[in-house]
Copies of this chain bind each other. A is one copy, B any other.
Amino acid sequence: MTASGGDTQHGIRRRNLARVLRTVAAQGPLSRPAVAARIGLTRAGVAPLVDELLRAGLLVETGRAATGGRGRPGGELAVSDRGPAGIGAEIGVDHLAVCAVDLRGRVRARVAAGAANRHSAPGPVLRRLSALLAEVTAGLSAEGLRPAGLTVAVPGLVARGSTTVLHAPNLGWRAADLAPDLAGATTPGHEAVLPLTVENEANLGALAELRLGGRDGRPAPPPDFVHVSAESGIGAAIVVDGQLLRGARGFAGELGHVPVYPDGPVCDCGGRGCLEQYAGERAVLRAGGVTAEGAAAAPAGPGARIGLLARRAADGDAATVRALHEAGTALGIALAGAVNLLDPQAVVLGGALAELAPWVLPSLERELARRTAVAATDGRGGGPLVTVSRLGADGPLLGAAHAALQAVLDDPLHSRTPAHSPRN
């Protein structure tokens, strides 16, 4: 009589391998007894799991090099800086970017290129992205790394578990399946198809926050937060109990189309007075008096045009400062609705928005405080804590690369041989 029929020996072993790998990845280097203690297994139970992960090249013993031998059993364990690499890619309105992250979380390769993707057909954009992917992966094998998966960040709606961008208003894409054009792109000359995931960029920014928060002196995010990011549009990701809230179809987090002034200007989405009409990149550039030529002169890469705004504001340009103040007000009104609905512990400004925080935050926080007073009964005096992501515009790209590694962390031995696995 068992309460959970799925607990086969095989299933338990697979889960325990994942627990060992994730524990060492998050907290290592660790001794074998420390690993056992942290996951609640005996040392005898942990030993064969560790051996298997060492054989697979996913773990290494930090004592090995020093002793010159096969490593002491009492040596410390760390995840390998060779082996699987997560490949993250980002399709922005004005740029393309690709990076590779190893199991230790280090960025091992990164390229970015300016691009005029607004209202460009998917085909040419994906061919350029494939070339960047090939450039990044070509360099990996020299370092003993192999791509374990590819996650692509897009500024649009993606149905849960699908590789199809259903609607990306700022790219002008509808129902664009990225799989055919990206198949095999990262392993030129191979038959193998790499596991491909397509995901909204705001969700990946929040995942980066969850994955990288607490590392390298960054503050760990609370389990419940709303992550707001801006690329060309404005998106949010809602994290509840450390998990992304994706919505019934995967479309949750469309903060950019929350009505702010219901009788305001008509939005591309068909609504009126949506947040993007006041705090979207185009609206702020226009309100700040930046010409199309000025915007086009920004360098390539994530957040480039927002960087232009930040420089103008830092230089004291009055129109830009005023435009950012108004954007903060609109963001505060929309976020007040989100906070009243969701009661998060924090609101994190991420993506390219992080760079604008000095000029956006004061008006944002004022609106949030006055409009979330009912919820402010814990004595903190109005609204949740607003924090600024230290990952900034790199968040979605880093989140994509980390998401691509997740399959290895969830199922270390299955996913270590992508060449033999069908795309999942």
Contacts and interface: CB of A to CB of B under 8 A. Distances in A.
Contacts of A7: 3
Nearest to A338: B341
Interface string A223-252: 110000000000010101000011111111
Interface in A287-345: 333-334, 336-338, 340-345
A66 interface: no
A216 to B, nearest CB: 26
Which of A167, A224, A345, A377 has the most C-beta atoms of chain B within 10 angstroms of its own C-beta?
Answer: A377
Given A157-B377, A174-B377, A224-B248, A340 B258 contact: yes
A235 to B, nearest CB: 10
Chain A interface SS verdict (over half): loop
Given A341-B341, A375-B157, A1 B248 contact: no
A65 interface: no
Contact of A373 (B3, B271, B378): B271
A422 interface: no
Interface size class of A (residues with CB under 8 A): 35 or more
A247 B374 contact: no
A38 to B, nearest CB: 13
A336 B249 contact: no
Given A262-B260, A334-B337, A377-B167, A251 B157 contact: no
A374 B254 contact: yes
A257 B372 contact: yes
A169 interface: yes
Contact of A1 (B45, B166, B240, B252): B45
B247 A344 contact: yes
B371 A333 contact: no
